[in-house]
A and B are shown apart, each in its own frame.
Chain A
């Protein structure tokens, strides 16, 4: 599961939901088993945001993950364009999220309630990111196996908590790679965005998705995530995920 989270920020949300669901548990277990057998990861990605009335915005970022048994640490650093270079996001759990801005030499804690805000104006929310590190999802989502075909499982995931970000998620899991190929997000009963993944590749014995597109239902925007590089099980210590690391211009790993 965690590898997948690194590959695709959004996937992590959906998979964490699957992983701890009660209904559809067999599918969830299968996906979890296939995607969480690593300790650390480093991935380089490109995020392109297509707006309705603007030129595409292109960001490059590096993501580090430390996979603890009950806890995850994550660090995202923007590497380009120049205006955002060095801006870093550290998460050590739901209440320990920090943003570092090199121009101000300042680290700022992120409030929990801003999690539904869009991440850098993309179609992903901070909540989507923070769920990478969520471990206590049990009981928060109800997952049922909606249907099954020769090639995929279709899961229906509904939250059991009050005021959820999404009212329902329909997820198509590819049986060969055990990765979602399509995820449809519902808000107040209506489709709000759709994610489609493509280009599956086996790297270091792990299946990864190299291209993800998230589109809003009204077609007003689209975000494309492209995975350019990924490494598993680097010798990154937990202490790397610290506020001091945030301020370092060059990261060691």
Chain B
């Protein structure tokens, strides 16, 4: 250390010049730093959960979503809807935007006047008040649109913007900003709300800059005031501050130079560096002023000789504690650890080189005040006199706080980090309130997206998810197929026939379904809109969905025809489906009732079905004949005869030959044949309808809690003559997995909890080794860790008591506590060792250690606390919580160190100290 001192004194101009040049360069680099916060980038991309989410999100353009809520006074008029069309189409043209989906360009299935079409509202904009009123009614009655593209009150339209998946995070922020600006320019909506990761990043960047501009000067000012009160010496105030300004600037510059961006959590780095790093400067400056020699080289070398090791050790323990965060496999936390450690290293460097280099120009001397050390001496005597009491008080207070530890929860969500009064969180809450969710859980189906059973499973999962209170709407291909079948065939269900699905799929060609099915229809997702406020509820939803998938959905299966397959297996499979449907919809039915319904529906013969409802059957065939134009140009009399003939034949039992010959009695052979063609073709349709009507009557009788629509859907589903049966070797199979941003937050939060212990353990080991080396005793080192351990426990208790979650900012507290808290121990040990070597008694040495170090420790604690306290002025909730915890760390660890450490050390016999210090000397 002495050599370093001499070197500094000799090259002081060069050191000042080098630091100045590097600082100017780093200021330039810092000015270009980018701030990005993206949960999908928190965990390394090779993490299986993250990798799966990234693939799904990329496939369906869900990775870079910007959700825009546009609240209109009256959405359903020409001006508002045209404005929405302009916005939808206008955003599409913005750079880095991949697709835009809103109620005006989503597939809009309309039927009426005997026609059906899959179109878009932008293509069928109505005219006149009546038209808009009808459209509003239709949209709000659409299960696909309500809650997905429009709020249930019909006032807010949701625009879902997907940004290019190849965009960098910075490009996403730029694109989100452009979208916001574009909407502000052209929107005629009363209010616009934005959410989604890119939008969050726009706010994150703005907030980070605001916080940075506010907190750094405030922290410097707070520390300035404390130091001025403590030392009443301008050099002693300015130099420690200069060192931390330089070190925090270098840190930000290095983040940028190494190609990293900052997250909201990482904006705490400069404040931490300022709050913790200034202590090193204080020790150096004060020691320098205590030196009596006139020669600056001697003063500097003596200063570094006396306090250099302690400063170095203090910095090293702090660096080690922050580096222990490397064990947390969550990127922002890793970066927080690395760059705070780097910042502390820069602070150490600045205080070992620059601070002595500058102060060497001063020839001032300052003497310590006697009355202050007397006060600390009395305090030391008091502690040792009541050592049992001191320790008891400490342990009891910690014990009370420990009881709150079980209440700690981990929560990595941006909304929690930002706090409820934040602009972005308010926007998220708007979506939660109006759409019952601002985020999505995605259920990915990997398999043939047009497979009937896959689609039915999608529908089951959608229905099942609705039992959770945090689930809003769902959007899926199944929902669209079902809606289309309802409009096209008046059958609101997903048919079990592949041909029928293919036909419906054909109608959907050309519609933008890119957010729910991939281009090759090999992957499809159910988007479940959720309110992600409660991680506990998200966990519950995920668990529920996974259990439902495991227990209610066949992973591989076959399609069989009812008439050509084992009846028992067919009935079992249909019962399984019906049970799953009833379970998903939370209806009630006994197992035996379900079996009874299925058995009746499967076994009722075609002839009985036709014979039992001749009027219904006749109406159905007449309707078909009309739709095929077979009744065009026929007289009323002939039409009536056809109707009567159909009725009579079906009443007696359908016979093809009999019907044909009956028809030929009043019409030409050719016309009769044409009618027979239609009848033969339509028989399967009519039979299915009859069977489903029969099934409906049974379901109504035995099942409780289903709506009319659900009864109809279930009845149709169990009436088809193609049945899905489980088959381990079946050629049909698909894989289902649950993912989504809220799931990622949960995943990361879980990782956080586990990683916390690992990082704390490593931090503690490193610190133990360092103290053990300092004190030449493992056991003394272990004793030194006790106040730190008690501080950690107190901090966790405070987190539990004040509902402060474990997140990417607060996780650093425990490790920081070890690194920073141990500084007080190091200072006391350092002094204690010196005093013991003077052959004093243990108690005298301890009292002397307290009296000489007390003031330094107190003001170190106060200065750092003042620095951290400035975070209370932040509008980021997480930073305010960090302030509480870091201040408690500084204060509690000091109190515990003073109460517990001397008391414990006083129990160790003098001989032991003599032995270890003697060994060291030798």
Contact = CB atoms under 8 A, between A and B. Distances in A.
A104 B115 contact: no
A116 B120 CA distance: 10
Interface stretch (A10-18, A48-56, A154-162): A48-56
B128 to A, nearest CB: 16
Given A87-B503, A101-B503, A118 B510 contact: yes
Contacts of A104: 488-489, 500, 503, 685
A243 interface: yes
Interface stretch (B205-213, B674-682, B780-788): B674-682
B499 interface: yes
A138 interface: no
Interface in B479-516: 488-489, 497-500, 502-503, 505-507, 509-511
B12 to A, nearest CB: 64
Contacts of A55: 519-520
A108 B116 contact: yes
Nearest to B520: A54
Given A244-B629, A247-B628, A109 B123 contact: no
Contacts of A145: none
Interface stretch (A33-41, A119-127, A170-178, A206-214): A119-127
Contacts of A244: 628-630, 674, 677
Contact of A243 (B110, B119, B502, B628): B628
Contacts of A242: 629
A110 B117 contact: yes
Interface string B679-696: 001101100000000000
Contacts of B510: 117-122
A60 to B, nearest CB: 14
A116 B685 CA distance: 31
A78 to B, nearest CB: 8
B901 to A, nearest CB: 65
Contacts of B114: 109
B123 A116 contact: yes
A83 B629 contact: no
B599 interface: no
B637 to A, nearest CB: 22
A103 B520 CA distance: 22
A130 B678 CA distance: 27
B627 interface: yes
Nearest to A81: B502
Interface size on A, as a range, is: 20 to 34
B124 interface: yes
Contact of B502 (A84, A106, A122): A84
A52 B679 CA distance: 44
A107 B120 CA distance: 22
Contact of B681 (A51, A117, A243, A247): A247
Nearest to B58: A53
B529 to A, nearest CB: 25
A105 B685 contact: yes
Given A104-B489, A104-B503, A53 B518 contact: yes
B834 interface: no
A87 B500 CA distance: 11
Contact of B509 (A52, A106, A111, A121): A121
Contact of B123 (A103, A108, A113, A243): A113
B33 interface: no
B675 to A, nearest CB: 10
Contacts of A109: 114-116
B124 A113 contact: yes
A102 interface: yes
B425 interface: no
Best-surrounded residue of A105, A244, A247 (most CB of chain B within 10 A): A105
Nearest 6 A-B pairs (CB), nearest first?
A54-B519, A118-B510, A121-B509, A83-B502, A114-B117, A103-B499
29 contacts: A51-B519, A55-B519, A55-B520, A83-B450, A83-B503, A84-B506, A99-B507, A101-B506, A102-B503, A103-B500, A104-B488, A106-B489, A106-B627, A106-B685, A108-B116, A109-B115, A113-B117, A113-B123, A114-B123, A117-B117, A117-B119, A117-B120, A117-B123, A120-B509, A120-B510, A122-B510, A244-B628, A244-B629, A247-B677
